[in-house]
A and B are shown apart, each in its own frame.
Chain A
Amino acid sequence: MIDKKQVLALAKTMKFSLTDEEADRYSHKLSEIINYLELIQEVDTTDVTPTYYGIVGQLASLREDVAEQSTQSEQLLNNASDTEGAYVRVPAILNDGQGGA
């Protein structure tokens, strides 16, 4: 079970807001899903090593960390919705009246 308060706390962590109606609806939906996912609790996993990676039977390939010259900064800046010179502009970070970065 997951209640509305918990859903709102999770949404805060994920940095999106929910309306009252959404929080209600999502808590029902999520409770139902979590209830179903709990099925795996039946499985005895004592002494089993968890698998976190998809790699099959071998290690990830490694390479030297070599610095490369990138010439794409202008194109990259074009992807941002607000820029000034060679910077991405955002609204004030601190509410101290000192303006943004």
Chain B
Amino acid sequence: MFLNETIESLHRQLVSGETTATQLVNRAFDAIAETDPQLRAFLDLDPEGAREVAKKIDEEGIKDDELYKGIPIAIKDNIVTTQMKTTAASKMLENFVSIYDATVVHKLEDAGMIIIGKLNLDEFAMGGTTETSHAHTTANAWNIQHVPGGSSGGSAAAVASGMVPVALGTDTGGSIRQPAAYNGIVGMKPTYGTISRWGVIAFASSLDQVGPMTKTVKDNAQMLNILYGQDGHDNTLATIEAKDYTEKIGHPIAGMVIGVPKETMDATLVDKHIIDCTKHALKQLESQGAVIKEISLPLLKYGVPAYYTIATAEASSNLQRFDGIRYGFRAENAQDLEDVYVKTRTEGFGEEVKIRCLLGTYMLSAERYEDYFKHAARVRTLISQDFEKAFENVDVIVTPTTTTTAPKLKEYNTVEEEAVDRYSADLLTVPVNLAGIPALSLPCGFVNGLPVGLQLIGRSFDESTLYQVGYAFEQATDYHTQHPHMMKGEESR
């Protein structure tokens, strides 16, 4: 297990010879063998490939300045790999192996990290529970009767349970931050344009971003250091000068102005225990000299409807490519070409994907385009401007990450939830994607044994300040040192 490890602690052990890359890879697979039968976070594993890479690294040796070399990592299964299948948790791609690796895969490998497996998600990243996965459901690391969140639910559960020290997720409307919050780990949705999406299966292209999911804030910043930057493939990437995202870590936060939108502390929208945890966290930040200031994001409640209008429209277009012809699943017994498309897509997509594609097609239809899609795109502009105005007076905005703790898995839930309730639970995360700005979720408490996340929202390309504030909070609290109960007493090296 890697429960008490960080990138730096593992690096020190590797450099001193206390452990080897091979031992770390074995440790990951031992932890997976022990824990994953309960959590079911993984969709594919590459023990042979990982051991081969580890052996080569051990032969080469690990130098002091090779911070990432020899450290195991797992990635969300909507990121394409040549060494393992990439399914996006869909029947449509259940046996798909990519002929190229995503840019982020190259970046991890260039840094010497060892990719050991692929992690479960909601089908095509559409969902907030990992229950829409065609393969199987993943459980929350803190209570296996609860959802891990989603769509990066596998990534969050794997890191929280110590099966891997770090993982990658993707975030279109909260898919990194919400599962990070539900599992008591740290998750960053960087500014749009920070990390290449080359080789990341598209859901809603104007919103999708890749990001790191880690146990600690510093690990997260260190991961972003090797993930950002242009690759010549993704033309939406911003030009970012060489930078160190850990640059402000350890700097005091005294005098920093933290804005708290009053709309996010409304007990009619957010569980009151979560509001209490957030207030407690704000007091902690205040005790370090931060100035807490109430602000307003008047359009917050329009974020979810604007998001679902835009995201489903983009998804309905992106998912046209799955036609059963060039790759992926193809239905049998088709009479003609049209029949191949229709049978393949009918059998290949799950219900949530179909619902969202129908909704997106509706939004883009000639009669609705102006009133729905274009109107939502205008609301998106106004939401961005709300944030811009707020950042004229504050350095960072703090909100809860989620409106509740992780709900129960469907099989344990007696009340059937309506789609609208599920969508509206994304209240606090989606406005950030619409504005393209960065946000970090980190642990800030527990309610009935389930973790609660604190969301720090920043100005565009100012991830460093979020890490600064996140680190200051983390070091003053002990939430990140607590481990899921099912794991207690099982820590071994």
Residues of chain A having any CB pair with chain B under 8 Å: 2, 6-7, 10-11, 13-18, 26, 29-30, 32-34, 36-43, 45, 48-58, 60-63, 72, 75-76, 78-82, 88, 90-95, 100
Contact = CB atoms under 8 A, between A and B. Distances in A.
Contacts of B393: none
Interface of A is mostly: loop
A8 to B, nearest CB: 10
Of A7, A30, A43, A95, most B-chain CB atoms within 10 Å: A43
B358 A7 contact: yes
Given A11-B358, A16-B349, A55-B236, A43 B302 contact: yes
Given A15-B342, A56-B192, A50 B374 contact: yes
Contacts of A52: 206, 377
B358 A26 contact: yes
Contact of B436 (A37, A39, A41, A55): A55
B481 to A, nearest CB: 35
Contacts, number: 180
A82 B373 CA distance: 38
Contacts of B365: 10
Given A33-B420, A81-B324, A92-B337, A2 B362 contact: yes
B491 to A, nearest CB: 41
Nearest to B376: A40
A33 B308 contact: yes
Contact of B437 (A2, A56, A79, A91): A56
A37 B235 contact: no
A26 B360 CA distance: 14
A90 B358 contact: no
Contacts of B374: 50
Contacts of B328: 79
A91 B239 contact: no
Contacts of B377: 50-52
Contact of A36 (B327, B337, B339, B424): B424
A51 B341 contact: no
Contacts of B216: none
5 contacts: A16-B345, A55-B192, A56-B437, A75-B99, A91-B336
Interface string B316-356: 10000001111111100011111111110110010000110
B419 interface: yes
Interface in B419-452: 419-420, 423-424, 433-434, 436-437
Interface stretch (B145-153, B284-292, B380-388): B380-388
A14 B316 contact: yes
Given A17-B342, A40-B302, 11 more contacts: A15-B323, A33-B308, A37-B372, A40-B306, A45-B375, A51-B380, A51-B434, A90-B337, A91-B334, A91-B335, A92-B335
A37 B420 CA distance: 9
A61 B420 contact: no
Given A7-B358, A37-B372, A76-B99, A14 B345 contact: yes
Contacts of A88: 325-326
Nearest to B380: A51
A29 B306 contact: no
A12 B345 CA distance: 11
B379 interface: yes
B375 to A, nearest CB: 6
A30 B337 contact: no
Nearest to B329: A81
Contact of B301 (A6, A39, A53): A39
A15 B341 contact: yes
B50 to A, nearest CB: 22
A54 B235 contact: no
B299 interface: yes
A76 B178 CA distance: 36
Contact of A37 (B97, B99, B309, B380): B309
Contacts of B334: 91
B232 interface: yes
A61 B230 contact: yes
B426 to A, nearest CB: 12
Contacts of B433: 54
B418 interface: yes
Interface in B91-112: 96-97, 99-100
